[in-house]
């Protein structure tokens, strides 16, 4: 956000005499959100598939624990399945973030 | 070389002020003894040290200087753009009678974009990439006028047409990246003029553009000045650009004005060694290939400005002045020749003669 507010277009926005709140939110925050979207997507992917500790802690039967048990028991097919699910979720989240980018940043749109 | 002596810091008694003459005598912009300092971890940066000038409507003042001369900082101060917490500003800046130094943030917001507007160097980075040109122009208009989206959009289209953008009805919905460099700068000019500001500050508007486009933008600004009747400050480091569009020139070095006068006189017979250096360093486009003559040395750090005349470490005429004055006494900006309309901040006697006999022959 600090980096965003240091951008030239924020200085231009201030020079127009618009309210400081508008400068910070509409110009500054909006520009800072886009890189955050990428990280959010990846992070969400990891949350969905890799929360092994959480699952063990609360006794939930999730994919994380399933994969861990498979790993310990040398249960290859289940392990492969777990990894595959994880991979699909990550790719799907990346794809969703890419689509989201076309809404966030007009420079990314096609045509 | 930390020799910032007290001669630099004491307030000067202003005996002569750069005053651009206009059709009517009252100035629209009056800067008096402006000082801008930035407290930093390394010490106090003296960006502007006692700058004074005045500019009426319908006139263009070119402020020429290198990076670090204070030209941009002083103009940002005129717009009230410096952060109050990280800067110390003293002196007076009057725009249309309103005092900018010390103005409340609320009043500054009303002032910016209406009484005065600024256009910046790189239109690519100075326009928000996520909003259409139309949105950005409309934003400025609606911030200061009660207008519907439709009215504001019409106004934006009018202005885009006025600055020479073809097909304005369609292009108003384009994003900045869909414009070419010259068109982007025109769009930024349109955005600055949307509320009819009487003062336009152009901070190196053509530096980031092709030379051919530069000429178009200069013509546009001159044209708009005639129509809108505004006062224009044109900041640049390029003397060639200055010759085209300025009425007067203010040359800045190390935070203050070192020479001032009408454009023809300054370019014809400059009086300050720094200006001589600037003219000499312009490469010749014709004639024999010859080595370049840059000004020796580098601009001083604004944390430790040299004592006496800030230019003296780089000045080849320093020893012409008896009594080691250049090192000890800060020269005043006063007329140094018979012409009362131009001044120079230099101890040299008869600088016009020195220029004609020694510098002029060296110029390409």
* Per-residue pLDDT tens over the stretch B163-212: 999 999 999 999 999 999 899 999 999 999 999 999 999 999 988 888 88
Which of A8, A10, A17 should be substituted to probe chain B, the one whose Cβ sees the most B Cβ atoms within 10 Å?
A17
A33-38 average pLDDT score:
84
Does A2 score more than 60 pLDDT? Answer: yes
Contact list, B109 vs chain A (CB under 8 Å): 17-20
Contact A106 B175 (CB under 8 A): yes
Which residue bears the tokens 């700068």? B185
Put simply, the answer to whether A17 touches B143 (Cβ < 8 Å) is: yes
ipTM of the complex in this document: 0.81
Which residues of A fall within a CB distance of 8 Å from B130? Answer: 30-31, 104-106
DSSP secondary structure, B125-156, as one string? HHS-TTS-HHHHHHHHHHHHS---HHHHHHHH
The distance in angstroms from the start CA to the end CA of chain B is 35
The most distant pair of C-alpha atoms in chain B lies apart, rounded to whole Å, by 70
- B296 burial via Cβ count (<10 Å: 0-12, 13-18, 19+): exposed
Among the partner residues B112, B125, B129, nearest to A107 by beta-carbon distance: B129
Residue B152 or B295, more confident: B152
The answer to whether position B341 is within a domain reads: yes
Closest residue in chain A to residue B118, using alpha carbons only = A15
> In which domain, by residue range, is B344 found?
266-282+294-362
Q: Indicate if the pLDDT at residue B136 is higher than 60.
A: yes
Per-residue pLDDT of A43-65, as tens digits, reads 888 777 777 777 777 877 777 78
Q: How many residues does chain B have?
A: 364
Give the model confidence (pLDDT) of A76-108 as tens digits. Answer: 888 888 888 888 888 888 888 888 888 888 888
CA atoms within 13 A on the CB side of B77: 33
Report the C-alpha gap between B346 and B312 in whole angstroms.
9
Burial group, residue A12, by CB count within 10 angstroms (0-12, 13-18, 19+)? buried
| Whole-angstrom distance, CA of residue B261 vs CA of residue B352 | 13
Phi, psi of B95 (to 5 degrees): -115, 115
Contact B120 A11 (CB under 8 A): yes
Residues B128/B188, Cβ–Cβ less than 8 Å: no
Q: Which residues sit opposite B19 in a β-bridge?
A: B54
Sign of the alpha-carbon dihedral angle for B101, B103, B109, B110: negative
Q: What are the distances in angstroms from CA B27 to CA A12, B22, B50, B54, B264?
A: 26, 8, 19, 6, 22
User: How confident is the model over B66-113, as pLDDT tens digits?
Assistant: 888 899 999 999 999 998 889 999 999 999 999 999 999 999 999 999
Please write the tens of the pLDDT for every residue from B233-287. 999 988 888 888 899 999 999 999 999 999 999 999 999 999 998 888 877 777 7
Contact yes or no for A9 and B79 at CB 8 A: no
Closest CA to A68 of A87, A50, A84, A43: A50
Task: Report yes or no on B38 lying in a domain.
Answer: no
DSSP conformational letter for B70: S
- Residue B228, helix vs strand vs coil: helix
Chain B residue at shortest CA distance from A19:
B109
Q: HSE (CB half, 13 Å, CA atoms) of A65? A: 10
Which residue from B minimizes the CA distance to A32?
Answer: B130
pTM for this predicted structure:
0.86
Residue partners of B214: CB distance under 8 A and separation at least 6: B206, B241
Q: Tell me how many domains chain B contains.
A: 1
- Any domain includes B49: no
Contacts of B110 (CB under 8 A, 6+ apart): A17, B144
Q: Which residues contact B99 (CB under 8 A, 6 or more apart)?
A: B92, B93
- Cα(B313)–Cα(B27) distance, rounded to whole angstroms? 36
In chain A, what residues touch B81 (CB-CB under 8 Å)? Answer: 11, 14-15
Residue B322 domain-assigned? yes
CA distance B115 to chain A (A): 10
Task: For B188, list phi and psi in degrees, rounded to 5.
Answer: -65, -40
- CB count within 10 Å of CB B84 equals 12
Whether the predicted pLDDT of B3 surpasses 70: no
The whole-number pLDDT of residue B14 equals 58
The pLDDT of residue B362: 80
Bridge partners of B256, per DSSP, are B253
Q: How many domains does chain A have?
A: 1
How far is residue B334 from each of residues A47, B258, B273, B337, measured CA to CA in Å? 71, 10, 15, 9
Q: Do A9 and B127 touch (CB under 8 A)?
A: yes
Question: Quick check: A18 and B120 CB within 8 A?
Answer: no
Please give the residue range of the domain that contains residue A94.
Answer: 2-108
**CA distance to B135, B264, B268, B282, per residue, from B208 (Å):** 24, 26, 28, 19
Is B201 in contact with B117 (CB distance < 8 Å)?
yes
């Amino acid at each position: 956000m600090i980096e965003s507010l240091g951008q030239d277009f924020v200085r231009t926005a201030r020079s127009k005499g618009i309210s400081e709140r508008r400068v910070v939110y509409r110009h500054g925050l909006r520009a800072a959100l886009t890189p955050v979207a990428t990280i959010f997507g990846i992070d969400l992917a990891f949350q969905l598939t890799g929360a092994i500790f959480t699952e063990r802690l609360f006794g939930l039967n999730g994919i994380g624990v399933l994969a861990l048990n498979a790993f310990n028991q040398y249960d290859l097919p289940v392990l492969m399945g777990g990894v595959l699910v994880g991979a699909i979720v990550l790719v799907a989240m990346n794809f969703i973030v890419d689509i989201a980018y076309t809404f966030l940043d007009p420079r990314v749109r096609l045509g | 070389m930390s020799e910032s002596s007290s001669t630099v810091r004491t307030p000067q008694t202003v005996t002569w002020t750069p005053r651009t003459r206009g059709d009517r005598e009252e100035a629209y912009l009056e800067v008096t003894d402006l000082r801008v300092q930035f407290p930093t971890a390394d010490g106090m940066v003296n960006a502007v040290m006692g700058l004074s000038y005045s500019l009426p409507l319908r006139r263009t003042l070119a402020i020429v200087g290198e990076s670090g001369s204070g030209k941009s900082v002083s103009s940002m101060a005129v717009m009230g753009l410096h952060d109050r917490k990280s800067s110390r500003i003293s002196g007076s800046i009057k725009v249309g009678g309103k005092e900018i130094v010390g103005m409340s943030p609320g009043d500054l917001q009303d002032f910016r974009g209406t009484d005065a507007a600024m256009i910046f160097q790189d239109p690519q980075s100075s326009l928000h990439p996520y909003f259409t040109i139309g949105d950005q122009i409309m934003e400025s208009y609606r911030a200061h006028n009660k207008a519907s989206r439709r009215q504001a959009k019409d106004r934006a289209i009018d202005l885009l047409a006025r600055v020479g953008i073809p097909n304005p009805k369609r292009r108003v919905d384009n994003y900045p990246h869909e414009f070419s460099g010259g068109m982007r700068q025109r769009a930024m000019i349109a955005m600055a003029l949307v509320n009819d500001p009487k003062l336009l500050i152009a901070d190196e508007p053509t530096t980031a553009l092709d030379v051919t486009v530069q000429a178009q933008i200069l013509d546009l600004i001159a044209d708009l000045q005639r129509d809108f009747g505004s006062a224009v400050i044109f900041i640049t480091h390029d003397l060639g650009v200055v010759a085209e569009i300025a009425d007067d020139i203010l040359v800045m070095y190390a935070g203050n004005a070192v020479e001032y006068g009408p454009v023809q006189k300054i370019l014809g017979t400059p009086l300050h060694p720094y200006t001589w250096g600037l003219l000499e360093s312009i490469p010749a486009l014709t004639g024999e290939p010859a080595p370049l003559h840059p000004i020796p040395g580098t601009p001083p750090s604004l944390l430790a400005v040299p004592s006496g005349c800030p230019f003296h470490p780089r000045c080849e005429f320093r020893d012409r002045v008896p009594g080691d004055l250049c090192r000890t006494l800060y020269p005043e900006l006063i007329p140094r020749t018979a012409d009362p309309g131009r001044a120079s901040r230099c101890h040299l006697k008869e600088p016009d003669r020195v220029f004609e006999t020694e510098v002029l022959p060296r110029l390409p």
